[in-house]
Amino acid sequence: MARNPDAIVVGAGIIGSAIAWELAKEGRRVVLFDRGPVGRAASWAAAGLLTPIHLAEYPAPLAALCVESEKMYEPWVRGLGAPEVEYIAGGLILLIFDDQDERDAAALEAWKRERGSPVIRLDPRQLHDLEAAASTEVRGALHLPDVAQVRNHRLTRALAEAARKLEAEIRPETEVTGFLKVPGRINGVRTTKGDLFAAETIVAAGAWSGDLDVGAEVHPVRGQMVLLEGPPDALSRTLLARDAYLVPRADGRVLLGSTMEEGEYEAKTTADGISFLMDQGLRIAPGISRFSVAATWAGLRPATKDRLPYLGRPAGIEGLILATGHFRNGILLAPITAKLVADLVAGRSPAMDLAPFRPDR
C-alpha cells in the first residue's frame, strides 16, 4: 500500500475483520493489525451462537442492537460467499429445571411474543419428541426455532480474506503499542514493526483494548470450552440451561460451554473449569457420558463494567473510533458493529443511536 491508509483497524478478531471488510467494500484503504494470527483469540474460542444467552435480561439498547444484528446475519454471510462458515438456523431449546428457570423462561417467552418472534412452549413429552437427548429431569422447555449458528473461527478468517481481496492489507503478528498523537487527535499507530499514519484508527482489540491508552476499561472474562465427539445426529438442536449449553455442529461434533471467570488473562483450561462443564453438560443431556472428548480450549471475552460495548468516538479525540467490549456477543454483533463504524468513518448518521454505547459514558 503506497499511500497512507484511510483507516487502521487494531485487532483482527471477528469485529475488526468485519470492520475491515465493510470499509474495504466502501472503497477505503484499510490496514488490519493483530498482535497474533488472524482470529485466534475470543473469536476462535466462541460457540458461534447467533443469539444472546438471556436476551430478556439485557438492557434495552443492547437487546435492540442484538436484534438488529441478528436480522442482518443471513444476507451478510450470503454476501460473503463463504459456504464453509456454515450458517445454520437449527433452532435452540431452553431447558426448564426449577423455579428460577421457569421465571427466566417466562420472561423470555413474553419478550419474544411481544415482538412477534417465534417461541414454542414444550411440555416434557413434546421436548423429548423433538430432542430425545435432552434430560428427562426437566419440567419443560422453550423452543426458539429461528436461532442460528455459524462456525465462528471460519467466519473470522473469511472476513479477513474478503477484505484482503478488496485490497485491504492484513498484518498479523504485529502488535500496536501506542498511537501517533497531537493534542486532540490520533493520526495513526505505533507498532512493533514501525509507525503508520491514517485518517482514522479503529480499536477493536477485544480483551487487550484496555492496554491501549484510549480510556476503554475492558477486562477479560475467561470462557472454557469442551469439544465432544459422539454418534452422528446425537443432537440436532442447541440445548441451553442456566449455566451451560450444548451446540451441535454439522460434522456431528458437539460444543459444550462455557465458564465465566472474571479477570483471568490466561487463555488456559483448568481441571475445575472442565469438571464444571462436564457436570453441567451431563445434566443437560446425560447421554453425552458416552461421547469422547476431542479437545478443550479457552478464550478471553472482552467485558466492560456495565456489559455494554464501546461503540463510537471518545469525546475530544478526533481520528479515533472504539468498537470493543462486546463480551459474550462479539460473534452476533459483528455485522451491525461493522455497519455503524463504516457510518462513522463516512460521516453518515449511524443507523442506530450510539449514545448508550459511547466510550465516555
How many other CB atoms sit within 10 Å of the CB of residue 156? 30
Predicted local confidence at residue 172, as pLDDT = 98
Average pLDDT over residues 127-139: 97
Query: How many angstroms separate the CA atoms of 82 and 154, rounded?
Result: 9
pLDDT band at 263 (very low <50, low <70, confident <90, very high): confident
- Which helix (H) or strand (E) covers residue 154, if one does? helix 152-165
What type of residue sits at position 258? S
* 125 pLDDT higher than 70: yes
* Angle, alpha carbons 55-20-351 (nearest 5°): 50
* Angle, alpha carbons 135-328-144 (nearest 5°): 45
Query: How many angstroms separate the CA atoms of 90 and 85, rounded?
Result: 14
* 52 pLDDT higher than 90: no
Cis amide linkage into residue 17, ω under 30° from 0:
no
* 1 pLDDT higher than 60: no
The three-class DSSP label of residue 356 is: helix
The domains found in the chain, sorted by start residue, are 7-50+152-218+306-357 (3.50.50.60), 92-146 (no CATH), 219-303 (3.30.9.10)
Predicted local confidence at residue 259, as pLDDT = 97
Average pLDDT over residues 13-39: 98
Predicted local confidence at residue 2, as pLDDT = 57
Predicted local confidence at residue 216, as pLDDT = 82
Torsions phi, psi of 50, nearest 5? -100, 55
- Encode 70-110 in three state secondary structure: HHHHHHHHHHHCCHHHCCECCCEEEEECCHHHHHHHHHHHH
Per-residue pLDDT tens for 215-236? 889 999 999 999 999 998 899 9
Predicted local confidence at residue 45, as pLDDT = 95
- Range list of β-strands (E), the chain: 7-10, 30-33, 92-96, 120-122, 140-144, 169-171, 176-182, 185-191, 194-197, 200-203, 219-229, 238-240, 245-248, 253-257, 261-262, 292-303, 310-312, 320-324
Mean of per-residue pLDDT scores for the chain: 96
